[in-house]
Structure 1
Amino acid sequence: MDLRNFGLSNFGLEPQLLSTIQDMLDFADDHDRAGRAPPEQPIRAYVRDAKAMAATPADVKEYPNSYVFIADMPGVKAAEIKVQVEDDNVLVVSGERTEREKDEKDGVKYLRMERRVGKFMRKFVLPENANVEAINAVYQDGVLQVTVEKLPPPEPKKPKTVEVKVA
């Protein structure tokens, strides 16, 4: 169920509250009464991936010699972040924040939960001049910075001189 279809924002409800309610309804749709997720279904996987992408904002900068992708990921351990290149030109940043499971094992009960847990992912189509062999990822203070070096510009083609023969 999508609350946006009911026009609840017209009743003065804050978008953040609507988002939280929507997440709760989505969880209820995706789990049985015991809290177990159903077997993986392609549509649910697509929706989950779309939500993970929407929940991972990022900045992209272009420098003279590189492209830099910056994503805030507070509370995520570096070991839980994966940076890959798919199809030779798609940069994929993904991972999972699993802090909630640890707390549940320790008997902690949440009274309010606003920080997002679960999977996150972003995909970026790289420009043709991106050097996928020269990628560097640094995670510091909850911020991931991925630098993709640019390929050097191609050298201008020199004109070919053809010798003219006398017949």
Structure 2
Amino acid sequence: MAMNFDPFRELDRLAGSMFEARGPRLMPMDLYRDGDHYVLSADLPGVDPGSVDIDVDGQLLTIRAQRTLTSGEGVKWLTRERQSGSFLRQLNLGQGIDTERISASYENGVLSVTIPVSERMKPRKIEVQGGAQQNTMTIGTGSEEGSGTQSAS
């Protein structure tokens, strides 16, 4: 009886067991700016929203989450591709972020974090004040008799 040996299956199994022991996994995310705030969307399917922890320390935003898969007693797995474990993502926010007003929501396996731009970093219009008189520039020549000045408009 010949045994079928699949080197790719073995390599996949070995790589899977190595990654499983490495610790926190990264979570895929998108980040974009929408007007006066940034929006971060991270995929966390199967994660209990109560296990999600978001904190800001200075300018470092850290997101942690835990996914726990339940299995009944005496269950014999046929295949198990969904992994339990912890997820971690850290971002340096840089300057100009209002860290006091960061908010988050979780819906359909997607964590959304809204990161507002601080008021002082928002673009603003500067009003140009018009004077009642026309401004003139006086240029001194120093070589003429009399006033020694010329006016330019």
Which TM-score bucket, shorter chain as reference? 0.5 to 0.7
Q: CA deviation at 1:23?
A: 2.5
Q: CA deviation at 1:18?
A: 4.6
Distance 1:91 1:25, change over 3 A: closer
User: Are 1:70 and 2:41 counterparts?
Assistant: yes
Structure 1 partner of 2:145: none
Map residues 11-160 of structure 1 onto 2, 5 A cutoff.
13=8, 18=11, 20-25=13-18, 47-49=22-24, 52-53=25-26, 56-86=27-57, 88-99=58-69, 102-103=70-71, 105-153=72-120
The separation in 1 between residues aligned to 2:33 and 2:13, in whole angstroms, is 35
- Which structure's CA Rg is the greater one? 2
**Unaligned 5+ runs, structure 1:** 1-11, 31-46, 157-167
**Greater share of helix residues, 1 or 2?**
1
Distance 1:115 1:26, change over 3 A: closer
* TM, length-normalised to structure 1: 0.61
The separation in 2 between residues aligned to 1:73 and 1:26, in whole angstroms, is 18
Q: CA deviation at 1:24?
A: 1.6
Number of residue pairs the alignment of both structures matches? 118
**Unaligned 5+ runs, structure 2:** 1-6, 126-153
Q: CA deviation at 1:26?
A: 5.5
Distance 1:25 1:134, change over 3 A: closer
The separation in 2 between residues aligned to 1:135 and 1:25, in whole angstroms, is 36
The separation in 2 between residues aligned to 1:62 and 1:48, in whole angstroms, is 31
Moved segments of 4+, more than 3 Å: 17-20
Question: Matched residue of 1:130: which SS?
Answer: coil
The percentage of aligned residue pairs carrying the same residue is: 28
Q: What's the C-alpha RMSD, in Å, of the aligned pairs?
A: 2.7
For 2:33, the aligned partner's letter is E
The separation in 2 between residues aligned to 1:66 and 1:77, in whole angstroms, is 26
1:63-102, Cα deviation, whole Å (9 max, x unpaired): 221111101111111001111112x111111111111xx3
